[in-house]
Amino acid sequence: MSIATLDGSLHRGCGGRYALQTETVTLRISGMAAEVDRQFYRCEKCAHENRTIEQRDLAERTATEKIRLQHNLLAPKAIRQLRESLGLTVPQMAELCYGTPKGIVEGWEKARYLQNREADALLRSLLDPATLERRAAKAGVTLPTLVTDGLVAASAPAADDHAAEDHAEPVTSPA
């Protein structure tokens, strides 16, 4: 059953009809909060309320995006690009994030979970070669040699054309 068909649909309990309503709710995600408008259905006769999975999901996605903008958190695609630019696998990245479960890291990349501010700062800090090496040593992660060389070259003053060759530019998605 789609969302559209619930509007005006019969509430079998009382014989009334459901009408689309909007409520303002504060949703908390990863320790942060955002106020969003969420739609739901209310029976016009008995005031019974009905909330669909789609309505909950939409409100949660809206809240996530609001929080992401508000706290300037990396987008899922940016997290994956960051990881791939370092030549890391998801399990390696998870180890570098103080042993965060790899399912969580995967969830960040697939927009299933939202990283909190601390995790976001940690992810960004891995772009610094010295920090990356320090974290890798502590976590027991072997960094890909080529990528480490590339990072050193990319962070050094551009002496020749080779330096930036493997340094992928961030992809900007159309607004």
Contact positions vs Zn ion (CB under 5 A): 11, 14, 16, 43, 45-46, 48
| Closer residue to Zn ion, CB minimum distance, 1 or 175 | 1
In whole angstroms, the minimum distance from the beta carbon of 85 to Zn ion comes to 55
The nearer residue to Zn ion, 48 or 124, going by C-beta atoms, is: 48
**Closer to Zn ion by Cβ: residue 18 or 108:** 18
Shortest distance in whole angstroms from residue 4 CB to Zn ion? 20
DSSP 8-32: T-EETTTTEEEEEEEEEEEEEETTE
d(CA 149, CA 162): 12
Tokens linked to 110:
């697939």
CA distances from residue 150 to 83, 135, 157 in whole angstroms, order as listed: 14, 18, 13
| Nearest approach, Cβ of residue 56 and Zn ion (Å) | 21
Nearest partner of 81 among 72, 67, 93, 68, judged by Cα: 93
- The residue (of 43 and 126) whose beta carbon lies closer to Zn ion is 43
Nearest-approach distance from CB 41 to Zn ion, in angstroms: 10
